[in-house]
Amino acid sequence: MSGMCSERVVVVTGAGRGLGRAHALAFAAEGARVVVNDLGVGPDGAGSAAGPAQQVVEEIRALGGQAVADGGDIATTSGAASVVATALDAFGRLDTLVNNAGFLRDRMLVNLEEDDWDAVIRVHLKGHFLPLKHAAAHWRAEDRAGRTPRARVINTSSGAGLLGSVGQGNYAAAKAGIVGLTLVAAAELGRYGVQVNAIAPAARTRMTERIFAGSMAAPGEGAFDGMAPENVSPLVVWLGSTACAGVTGRVFEAEAGRITVMEGWRPGPTADAGTRRTPSEAGAAALGLLAGSEPPGAVYGAR
């Protein structure tokens, strides 16, 4: 390995399994010291266990790396503060935050309970905001003390948040919100030496196995496993390093060997009448503009 993240201290939330585990191991392989944050909950957020986080820590240590476990609930103020404190206490600094933790409670909108909405918005969206807030406060203080950081944040969105996904209204809304949060954070925190980007990964994890049942199975021995979580991690490691200087406020799709720069909302066809329209005139103008516009991407699961 190149040692791209040598001496950097990296926090990865939801790092006990799946994508988070792959990211933690990849950062460690590039020389980073890693805080492995995970509550050890089930795929729907139920329960908790310290085992998954500690197991990843032991994997990293067995390979000669440095890591500590953190069991803070990053969707609470105290838990988010604790994961930053864990990095500072264990390693004396914080350079990169990877917001990754999450779970699913999928339902069609008419069957989606308020508790399932609140739980998914809480873990994904609030669980991105609070660690970001506490890490940013630390980096701002460092900058004001004359120690401008070269800090990095990688947020985890989803194709569901970019295009929508049938049966995942809560998850899609949260992941779309993460993109908005990423853009704002990149604009606000650049003055303190912080770059903020997002990824929209596709990989085989506990969260996706029910959605893509049968289409994401591991290949035969020796074949390239396109849906392995480890395929996403190289981009995350690069975004978490100093090698990506100047890259901020961007969203990348990552799947197998493919990386795509996603281009979000921007003005398309427009028409200005110079005065107030009637409803019929507004409708005619809208239809004319739609005829000359790019059609939206298909919503996942739509027929």
Residue 78 token pair: 């105290």
Is-catalytic flag, 241?
no
Which candidate, 3, 2, 35, 42, places its Cα nearest to that of 20? 35
Is-catalytic flag, 78?
no
Q: At what angle do helices 127-144 and 169-189 cross, to 10 degrees?
A: 10
Give the burial class of 38: count Cβ atoms within 10 A of its Cβ; 0-12 exposed, 13-18 middle, 19 or more buried: buried
Q: One of 82, 157, 175, 233 is an active-site residue; which one?
A: 175
Q: One of 82, 157, 171, 241 is an active-site residue; which one?
A: 171
Q: One of 82, 158, 165, 233 is an active-site residue; which one?
A: 158
Is-catalytic flag, 300?
no
Residues forming the active site: 158, 171, 175
